[in-house]
Amino acid sequence: MKKKAVIAALCFCFVLTACSSASPTDNSELSQKIDALQSSVDSLQTTLEEMQESDNSSSSAPTESETSSDTSQTQEPEQASGTPADYQQMINRLSQQISDVEIPEDRIQKTESFFSLKDQLDDLYGEVNLYKSSIERNFLEGNLEDSSYRTQVTQINDIIDEIHAVRGTLETRFGLSG
């Protein structure tokens, strides 16, 4: 019986020694992996900031409503800054802008003009989807009644359909797709 106890105690000591000797290398490996991931995140963040700066510097001066929506998106990305009525006004304005735009003869200018308008549509589409997500979240959390939820989702779906139609008009007018 004593032999079994001594053998068990020795085995236990060996296991503890093996575990304690493995921990520092595991910790250093984990630390190295964490440092590598952190540097990757920092690199990606820098790249994203540079891309945003180049987008901001190359685009034309934003309107006051676009500036306020950009600011609110940066401060609190989970919340949309508009209402269905605001989005309807924005899509109507973009639709009119697309109808009124003179299409340049120069291929480069034509492409730049097309993608400038398309980017505005894409930004609006993203904001509308963000708003739709916030409606769904509020409904699931019990902060929104069923009838109100259905009404708002129907309005947003109609606006999304209009965005797709306006995008089709843009592509047809410019003879490009993006």
Q: Using an 8 Å Cβ cutoff, are 80 and 134 in contact?
A: yes
121 and 33 both lie in a single domain: no
pLDDT band at 176 (very low <50, low <70, confident <90, very high): confident
Assess whether 167 and 98 both reside in one domain.
yes
Hey, what's the torsion of the CAs at 149, 150, 155, 156, to 10 degrees? 60
Residue 75: per-residue pLDDT: 41
Any long-range contacts for 54-59 (C-beta under 8 Å, 24+ apart)?
59/116, 59/119
The answer to whether residues 51 and 71 belong to one domain is no
Residue that is last in its domain, among 58, 82, 100: 58
Do residue 102 and residue 39 come from a single domain? no
Domain region containing 18: 1-58
* 97 and 159 share one domain: yes
**Which tops the pLDDT comparison, 30 or 72?**
30
For residue 66, the model assigns a pLDDT of 45
Q: What is the pLDDT of residue 177?
A: 76
Q: What is the pLDDT of residues 42-66, one digit of tens each?
A: 666 666 776 667 666 554 444 444 4
**pLDDT tens-digit series, residues 109-143:** 999 999 999 999 999 999 999 999 999 999 999 99
pLDDT of residue 160: 96
Instruction: Output DSSP code: residue 61.
Output: P
Same domain, 39 and 73: no
Q: Which of 176, 165, 160, 155 is nearest to 95 (CA)?
A: 165
Same-domain check for residues 89 and 163 = yes
Q: Are residues 124 and 165 in the same domain?
A: yes
| Tokens describing residue 139 | 């409904």
Residue 14 has pLDDT above 60, yes or no: no
Domain termination residue (choose one: 58, 80, 107): 58
Q: Is the pLDDT of residue 13 over 80?
A: no
pLDDT digits (tens, 9 = 90+) for 65-119: 444 444 444 444 456 678 899 999 999 999 999 999 999 889 999 999 999 999 9
Same domain assignment for residues 48 and 77: no
pTM across the whole model? 0.54
We report the CATH number of the domain holding residue 92 as 1.20.58
Number of domains in the chain: 2
